[in-house]
């Protein structure tokens, strides 16, 4: 617009349009050169992780496709690339830990979870990954201590989910159910809802199970 005003004052209205056209075309050219980044949500998530390795939403986004196919090894490969692009990313380490549990590799999962917690000591997602790995290994008491240490710092629904996991591993079903409800009510996400649904089924509370799992299905009707 500045170029247009100068052109109108000095060269007349006819050249004003030409000046504006040059400015517009230059802007369009710059936008086109960046369209691969601007228009690709996948690339935007990768850029977000490069800037902030604790971005949990971005980490979830880059592995959504393989997880929908239940291709856990492919998801691990994606997270491997994330850790090359963003070394020490606690979000990618925590997600890789969770997926390694699905691959029944609890030792590697705990290594990743500890690394995530070291990189981001105050991140509830990283601490939850540690608790999950400990619980899967059968270390229910240590898992409980880890979850409680996190809750002492920050009352986060993901840590209530972690505590529910620890209680469940110890066989303390009533306590686990109570913490599971707190986690889901607080918005801890899909994994917390699946855990609460499973615990409710085992407790014979089918109404709670249906109500809890219906939310998961509504969020993603294709969720296996």
Q: What is the DSSP string of 86-100?
A: STT-HHHHHHHHHHH
In a domain, 169, yes or no: yes
For residues 59 and 29, state if they share a domain: no
For residues 27 and 74, state if they share a domain: no
In a domain, 94, yes or no: yes
In a domain, 128, yes or no: no
* Domain count along the chain: 3
What gap in Å lies between CA 93 and CA 111, rounded to an integer?
9
pLDDT digits (tens, 9 = 90+) for 25-47: 444 444 444 444 444 687 899 99
For residues 24 and 63, state if they share a domain: no
pLDDT digits (tens, 9 = 90+) for 69-116: 899 999 999 999 999 999 999 999 999 999 999 999 999 999 999 999
For residues 200 and 169, state if they share a domain: yes
In a domain, 141, yes or no: no
What is the mean predicted confidence (pLDDT) over 53-74?
92
In a domain, 144, yes or no: no
Cα dist. 214→50, 115, 120, 187, 193 in Å? Answer: 35, 35, 33, 15, 10
For residues 47 and 108, state if they share a domain: yes
What's the confidence (pLDDT) of residue 108?
96
Last residue of a domain, one of 100, 120, 140: 120
What gap in Å lies between CA 77 and CA 31, rounded to an integer?
32
What is the mean predicted confidence (pLDDT) over 148-164?
94
What's the confidence (pLDDT) of residue 68?
86
For residues 174 and 184, state if they share a domain: yes
- DSSP states along 139-155: -HHHHHHHHHHHHHH--
For residues 1 and 46, state if they share a domain: no
What's the confidence (pLDDT) of residue 12?
52
DSSP letter, residue 188: -
CATH of the domain at 200: 1.25.40.10
For residues 34 and 57, state if they share a domain: no
For residues 107 and 72, state if they share a domain: yes
pLDDT at 6 over 90: no
Token pair of 161 as six digits: 């989910």
Cα dist. 5→8, 23, 152 in Å? Answer: 5, 12, 62
Cα dist. 153→44, 93, 149, 159, 178 in Å? Answer: 32, 21, 7, 10, 20
In a domain, 145, yes or no: no
What gap in Å lies between CA 69 and CA 53, rounded to an integer?
25
**Helix, strand, coil percent content, the chain, rounded in steps of 5:** 80, 0, 20
What's the confidence (pLDDT) of residue 35?
44
Last residue of a domain, one of 120, 142, 168: 120
Diameter of the chain measured on Cα atoms: 85
Per the structure, the complete domain to which residue 161 belongs is given by 151-224
In a domain, 126, yes or no: no
For residues 33 and 45, state if they share a domain: no
């Amino acid at each position: 617009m500045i170029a247009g005003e100068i052109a109108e004052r000095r060269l007349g209205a006819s050249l004003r349009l030409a000046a504006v056209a040059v400015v517009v075309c230059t802007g369009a050219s710059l936008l086109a050169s960046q369209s691969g980044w601007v228009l690709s949500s996948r690339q935007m998530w990768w850029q977000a992780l490069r800037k902030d390795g604790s971005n949990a939403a971005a980490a979830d986004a880059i592995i959504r496709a393989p997880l929908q196919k239940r291709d856990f090894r492919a998801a691990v490969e994606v997270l491997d690339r994330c850790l090359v692009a963003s070394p020490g990313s606690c979000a990618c380490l925590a997600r890789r830990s969770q997926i390694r549990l699905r691959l029944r590799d609890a030792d590697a999962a705990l290594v990743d979870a500890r690394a995530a917690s070291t990189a981001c000591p105050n991140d509830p997602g990283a601490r939850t990954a540690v608790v999950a790995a400990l619980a899967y290994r059968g270390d229910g008491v240590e898992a409980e201590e880890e979850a409680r240490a996190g809750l002492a710092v920050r009352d986060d629904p993901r840590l209530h989910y972690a505590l529910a996991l620890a209680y469940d591993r110890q066989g303390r079903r009533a306590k686990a159910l109570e913490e599971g409800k707190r986690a889901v009510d607080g918005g801890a996400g899909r994994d917390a809802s699946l855990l609460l649904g499973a615990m409710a089924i085992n407790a014979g509370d089918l109404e709670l199970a249906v109500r809890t799992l219906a939310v998961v299905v509504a969020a993603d009707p294709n969720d296996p």
